[in-house]
Amino acid sequence: MPAHSYTPLELIERLVSFDTTSRNSNLQLIDFVADYLAGHGVKSTLIHDASGTKANLFATLGPPEAGGIVLSGHTDVVPVDGQDWHSDPFSVRRRDNRLYGRGTADMKSFCATALALVPEYLSQPRSTPLHLAFSYDEEVGCLGVHGIVKHLHAIGKRPRLCIVGEPTEMQVVDTHKASMGVDTSVVGLEAHSSAPHTGVNAVMVAADMISFLGRLAEELKGRKVPGAERFDPPYTTVDVGTVQGGTARNIVPRHCRFGWGVRAIPGTDLAEPLDRLERFAEQELLPRMRKVHAGAEIIHEVRARIAALRPEPGSPAESLVLSLVESNQTLAVSYGTEGGLFQEAGIPTVVCGPGNIRDAHKPDEFIELSQVAACEGFMRKLLQRMAA
């Protein structure tokens, strides 16, 4: 396999050109990365999902010894459906010192920059290994990274630290909230709308539960939790994102389904909102429903659970990355990353990457060219430190 060298900008264009929306396969991108690394003599391990249509990539540069530094990034992106883009989302457009395209901010620019510096890392002997860990399905619940963590456990080589390259404007994030996504389904009984007492209105039952979650959200907003002041907002949040139900205006609806989520301050009970909603449903709603229809049901399905990243003052990850960005300040964020899962595996972890999360997940997603340059400078400092 011939060796190819690319600039970070060239690799950003290549990675963005692969439509790796989470519902799609990411194998074309993974195969491209594996071939690129193979051209430089680096072997990749692919860790597939059960369907075989998606894969994580894990590769070690340098000596095979234990330890080393993980650069972690996800390859999937969120959908562009229904968004008003002014250019092809999967073709990078350069304008006004910005790169526009799906994944430019979240987070293919970090992955591309790490890959672009592979030849530089390999150009001289290193005593510290560098690991590249690129995952699938981060955007739908950090599903793929579990395979990487299991692989690290299986090979028995725990890295010394991990840097997750989510967009932080190259500032050091040492903590983020835990999150959980839930789908709640209500099964009632259809009836003619002129006789609603003969049916069980699934939409109205769902509305009762949504109202309960709204009251719970207000309660959580008023709680005082140590350390919460670092977050924006400084409390655990509960929100409902989707609702589907009913057939027609004149039919008492049999089904309703709503999707909701929790983002919890580290150290608090992530499951509390679901536990309390279940009790509310079992004690107040289901008895009333089953007086009319014994087969009425309320079903909760946890679709995603993301571990919190907890502060580790003075950890190898925090100390190294703060020194590289020449700062003594760490930040807290309310969005989730794969960092908490690496940390749970005993690997000190921080989040630091180019771009701003506010520019992600929306039409005309972009990253400032200055952020790509800052990431490249950060990576070069890291390589210099690893050579010391």
Q: What is the pTM of this model?
A: 0.93
Domain with residue 239: its CATH number is: 3.30.70.360
Is residue 334 over pLDDT 90? yes
User: CB burial class (10 A; 0-12, 13-18, 19+) of residue 329?
Assistant: exposed
Q: How far apart are the C-alpha atoms of 256 and 254, rounded to whole Å? A: 7
> What is the reported pLDDT for 4?
84
Shared domain check, 57 and 156: yes
Beta bridge partners of 44: 59
Shared domain check, 202 and 127: no
Shared domain check, 185 and 171: no
Q: Is 364 helix (H, G, I), strand (E, B) or coil?
A: coil
- Pair 345, 82: CB distance under 8 Å: no
Question: In this structure, how many other beta carbons lie within 10 angstroms of the beta carbon of residue 279?
Answer: 10
Is residue 114 over pLDDT 80? yes
Domain with residue 128: its CATH number is: 3.40.630.10
- Pair 345, 152: CB distance under 8 Å: yes
Helix (H) or strand (E) holding 323: helix 316-325
**pLDDT tens per residue across span 120-148:** 999 988 889 999 999 999 999 999 999 99
User: Which pLDDT band holds residue 2 (cuts at 50, 70, 90)?
Assistant: confident
138 has catalytic annotation: yes
Question: In this structure, how many other beta carbons lie within 10 angstroms of the beta carbon of residue 158?
Answer: 13
Average pLDDT, whole number, for the chain? 96
Is residue 1 over pLDDT 70? no
Is residue 247 over pLDDT 90? yes
Q: Is 203 helix (H, G, I), strand (E, B) or coil?
A: helix
| Cis before 107? omega within 30 | yes
On whether residue 147 sits in a domain, the answer given is yes
Which are the contacts of 190, defined by CB distance < 8 A and separation ≥ 6?
199, 247, 251, 252, 253, 254
Higher pLDDT, 229 or 157: 229
> What is the reported pLDDT for 45?
98
Shared domain check, 183 and 111: no
Full DSSP string of 256-295? EEEEEEEEE-TTS-TTHHHHHHHHHIIIIIHHHHHHH-TT
- What mean pLDDT do residues 150-165 have? 94
| Domain's final residue, options 277, 306, 335 | 306
User: Residue 118 belongs to what domain range?
Assistant: 8-176+308-387
CA 54 to mean position of chain CA atoms: 16
Shared domain check, 54 and 126: yes
Domain count, the chain: 2
Active-site pick, 76, 137, 166, 365: 76
Higher pLDDT, 344 or 3: 344
On whether residue 119 sits in a domain, the answer given is yes
Shared domain check, 165 and 187: no
Query: What is the residue whose two structure tokens read 């909230």?
Result: 177
**pLDDT tens per residue across span 48-90:** 999 999 999 999 999 888 799 999 999 999 999 999 999 999 9
Which are the contacts of 6, defined by CB distance < 8 A and separation ≥ 6?
14, 36, 115, 116
Active-site pick, 13, 106, 138, 166: 138
Q: How far apart are the C-alpha atoms of 340 and 345, rounded to whole Å? A: 9
> What is the reported pLDDT for 388?
61
